Structure 1
Amino acid sequence: MTATTPRVFVLSVLVLLMAASRAHVFDHFSPPDATWAAFFIAGFHLRGWGRWVFPLLTALAVAVDWYVISGQGIDFWNHYCVSPGYWALVPAYGAMWAGGAWMRRRYAGANWEALGRLAAALVASVAVCHLIAQGGFYWTSPVVAEPTLAGWWKNYTDWLPPYMATAGTYVAIAAALQAAAERIGPLLRDRRDRGAH
């Protein structure tokens, strides 16, 4: 196994999860949209690959949106969710990636301190991501007839908890798998080394 194999595996899982959850390919059984969490996890695990992985994941998100909207017989650019603010998703996803990358730079192994840091990084990332994505939609979409600061704040605070919960669930699963891998990996290596003697 090469050093890049685990990273390729992580990227493959993120691409599949993002495509399946964003496209609702399983209809009523689809998991919640994993896109925000995917960018956070990618920022953590795929450092050094950002120049091509970030555009790849962003292009995947747009391609899935186009596929789903077009599949409904609707012109992509005339869909309710697609406004000039749609492109605010790029910096919004950037906020999630940056949160994961920030966490990685300060990560020395699974422990309670790292868990606290992870929680803080995730909350901040989701809050900023939602601020950019929701703000882009609210202030530029023609479906919001009379945007006001109070209306924007209500919309922001109404939608923040579900987005936080969804991203938090996926990232918690990824963190649990990371901690398990850190515990199991040395045991497997030790067993393999003893078997070689």
Structure 2
Amino acid sequence: MLTLSTRNQMAIALLLVLLMVLTRSHHFASVHNLADASWAIFFLAGIYLRSAWPLLGFFALSWWLDFAAYTWGGVSDFCITPAYVFLLPAYASLWLAGRWYAKQYQFTWRTAVPLSLSIMAGLTLCELFSGGGFYFFSGRIAETTLSEFGEQLIKYFPMYIETFVFYIGIAIVIHALLALIVQQVNPRNTTTG
């Protein structure tokens, strides 16, 4: 199981907040846009942050950034529909998948299997809630069918997976490097990864 000090959790939380502001606020940037890291942030928060309070904080932050983008940033409010509420279970799915993985964590290669399972489950549920919620309940699609939703899923889901894997890959590299440094400094402490 992954255990981190409160200080380390606070540092990670601040980094995740900064990452969300930098990537979700791409609505305001004009020169360099980073892909939205929100999905990876909720997953990583589930892994690294013990309390459930950050989940609520990240919900609020994501909503505020979206609100600011369409209110003051000139971004279209196309996605702000009654289906926006489906982001709550979508993001919670990622957080819960990360939370489940944190309980399976060991700093060995065997951790790749539960990590992969949690990623697949979290991503799939997140896309079904967010994409399905928008498709069926936003009012933006005149006639909805399961087959057309399947086509939309095949078209857009790989882009979300690609972005998620990009950010999670960076997190894995950073985590592994820090865990190796901790092992070198304190060889008995192998559970804090």
- TM-score, normalised via structure 1 length: 0.87
The equivalent residue for 1:16 is 18
Structure-2 separation of matches of 1:114 and 1:148: 39
Q: Does 1:46 align with 2:44?
A: no
The one-letter amino acid paired with 1:66 is F
- Render the CA deviation track for 1:54-103: whole Å, top value 9, x for unaligned: 110000000000000012457x8xx2101111000000000000110111
The equivalent residue for 2:56 is 55
Quote how far apart the aligned CAs of 1:189 are.
Answer: 4.2
- Render the CA deviation track for 1:27-63: whole Å, top value 9, x for unaligned: 341210000100000000002x11x111100000000
The equivalent residue for 1:193 is none
Quote how far apart the aligned CAs of 1:116 are.
Answer: 2.7
Give 1:143's match in structure 2, choosing from 140, 146, 157: 140
Give 1:183's match in structure 2, choosing from 163, 167, 180: 180
Q: Does 1:116 align with 2:113?
A: yes
User: Alpha carbons of 1:182 and 1:154: their partners in 2 closer, same or farther (altered >3 Å)?
Assistant: same
The one-letter amino acid paired with 1:107 is Y
The equivalent residue for 2:35 is 32
The equivalent residue for 1:92 is 90
SS in 2 for 1:101: helix
SS in 1 for 2:105: coil
1:122–1:168 contact (8 Å) kept in structure 2: no
Structure-2 separation of matches of 1:129 and 1:28: 29
Within 5 A, what are the aligned runs for 1:73-88? 73=74, 79-88=77-86
Deviates more, 1:25-34 or 1:128-137: 25-34
Structure-2 separation of matches of 1:156 and 1:28: 30
1:135–1:152 contact (8 Å) kept in structure 2: yes
Structure 2: give runs of 5+ residues left out of the alignment. 188-193
SS in 2 for 1:26: coil
Q: Does 1:71 align with 2:68?
A: no
The equivalent residue for 1:130 is 127
- TM-score, normalised via structure 2 length: 0.89
1:103–1:121 contact (8 Å) kept in structure 2: yes
Structure-2 separation of matches of 1:176 and 1:73: 36
After the TM superposition, list the runs of 4 or more consecutive aligned residues in structure 1 that deviate by more than 6 angstroms.
Answer: none
Identity between Structure 1 and Structure 2 (%): 31
- Render the CA deviation track for 1:131-153: whole Å, top value 9, x for unaligned: 00011100012221111111111
Quote how far apart the aligned CAs of 1:117 are.
Answer: 2.1
SS in 2 for 1:30: coil
**Greater percentage in helix:** 1
